[in-house]
Amino acid sequence: MFYTVFYKAPGQWLWRKLKKVKGDTVLESSQKTPLPVRVIILSDETRIEIPMTWAIKFSRDRFLSIRDKMNKEAGQKVA
């Protein structure tokens, strides 16, 4: 299941949209990246990094995707 991610830089009015997102994670700061970033993985394996200082919104499908994965891993319904 894929979902949509909306994001915008500080001070911007309009949201940008990433469709067909299959996963995301947060990378903490390190020597390579001084600030934490949100890593977005698209259906074609494209990797996009968004600074955590930017506003990020997820579609409802992200919750459904996470819940489905949890149900499969647990072998039963998770509330």
pLDDT digits (tens, 9 = 90+) for 2-39: 999 999 999 999 999 999 999 999 998 777 768 899 99
Please report the DSSP string for 9-25 in residue order: -TT--SPEEEEEEEEEE
CB 19 within 8 A of CB 4: yes
Report field, pTM of the whole predicted structure over 0.85: no
Report which secondary-structure segment, H or E, holds 62. helix 60-74
More confident residue, 34 or 61: 61
Beta strands in the chain (DSSP E): 3-8, 16-27, 37-42, 47-51, 55-58
CATH match of 3-74 with 2.40.50: yes
Count of other CB atoms within 10 angstroms of residue 18: 17
